[in-house]
Amino acid sequence: MAVLVSTLAFVLLLTLLILIHEWGHFAAARKFGVVVEEFGFGLPPKIKSVFKQGGTEFTLNWIPFGGFVRLKGENAMLEKERRAKGSFSAAPIHARVIILLAGVFMNLILALTILTIGFSAAGWIPTYLSYDEMRAAGEAGEINVEFSVLIDSVVGGSNAAISGVPGKSIVRTINGEDITFPEDIYTIQEGKSRVRYVVSRIEAGKVLEETERYSVALSDGKAGIVIIPYPLELSSPDRNIGTSFMLALREVKVMTSQTVIGIGKLFGSLASTGKVPEGISGIIGIAQLTHGAVQEGITHYLRLVALLSLSLAVLNVLPFPALDGGRLIFVLVEWITRRPVNRTLEVTTNAVGFIVLILLILLITFNDIVRLF
């Protein structure tokens, strides 16, 4: 049953994100008088035509992922057909720019909406890329956080190891002084030859209430432990819609930058090593993330929807052939040169770009399968 629910959630997720994207193109095209010949639910081949409205045929297709819109004249080769009344290329430059970016805009709006609701109603914690960012957020009242220090590991053969200090434990006090930040440990141990540690172990992701005491010799003020900051308690204060919206904007900025960095790492790794780097997932990886989010609950699932919606927006706006951003480049070139780009060049470029995208998707999917086993 859990697998069935996760599968349905995965299909719903992809379908929702793509249909909202395509509806953006559809609504913008209608606004500027461009004829939408078909709005397909799912991907071809077509099962049947459901109904027609406003010159648009709404169809149901066999492949149950997402959907598509087909604009009048967008696949035409002859200039006369491309410039016919109601066709995409006959629309003004500004209209075509808006039509191409409308899908990205809708995905952005979806992400912002979900994030705003999550930060206000579900008490979500924003994404922080460093300890200093989280510390500053706590001091500003953006989050409620109680810091501590985690012994991430104990160096083999060190004084801490000899004394039995456990790894994956929280340092409560040293010589009776409370420990909040890593620098506290450096300050207390400086110039001393022996100190008394009070620690609490972490089991199953939870910090135990029981404490353990260890007398540890020091060498040059060091015990031989690897320490990292650790949020002992982390929660959100009550937030109004305005504050939540500003946090949502910040989250969009952070997630967008990380997506762009990830794409850069992908192409850089492929160019240098021919391998897909860690952290890059395809359809199978997304399915795994969906399954995990469903197990965690609806709020985790919705946060994944927001993340993927934003990722879809970023990917589509990239100036790569066959993507919205790639098609936008041709429109901008026409605007600058004041004449249409050679149609054969445009079609060939987009076709090559589409093939490259398919090969890239297959490579990433293959990498996902390898990771499974």
DSSP string, 144-211: EEEEEEEEEEE-TTSHHHHHTPPSSEEEEEETTEE--SHHHHHHHHTT-SEEEEEEEEEETTEE-S--
User: Looking at domain 144-235, which CATH architecture does it have?
Assistant: Roll (2.30)
Q: Where are the domains of the chain?
A: 2-35+72-125+246-372, 144-235
Each residue's pLDDT expressed in tens, for the chain with a length of 373 residues: 666 777 777 778 888 899 999 999 999 999 999 999 999 998 888 999 999 998 899 999 998 777 899 999 888 888 788 888 999 999 999 999 999 999 999 999 999 999 999 999 999 999 999 888 999 999 999 999 999 999 999 999 999 999 999 999 999 999 999 999 999 999 999 999 999 999 999 998 889 999 999 999 999 999 999 999 999 888 999 999 999 999 999 999 999 999 888 888 888 887 888 787 776 666 666 666 676 777 778 888 899 899 999 999 999 999 988 899 999 999 999 999 988 888 888 889 988 988 888 888 888 778 777 776 7
Give the CA angle between residues 117, 123, 306 to the nearest 5°.
Answer: 45
pTM of the model: 0.86
How many Cβ atoms are within 10 Å of 205's Cβ, its own excluded? 5
Question: Would you give the DSSP letter of residue 143?
Answer: S
CA-to-CA distance for 270 and 48, rounded, in angstroms? 41
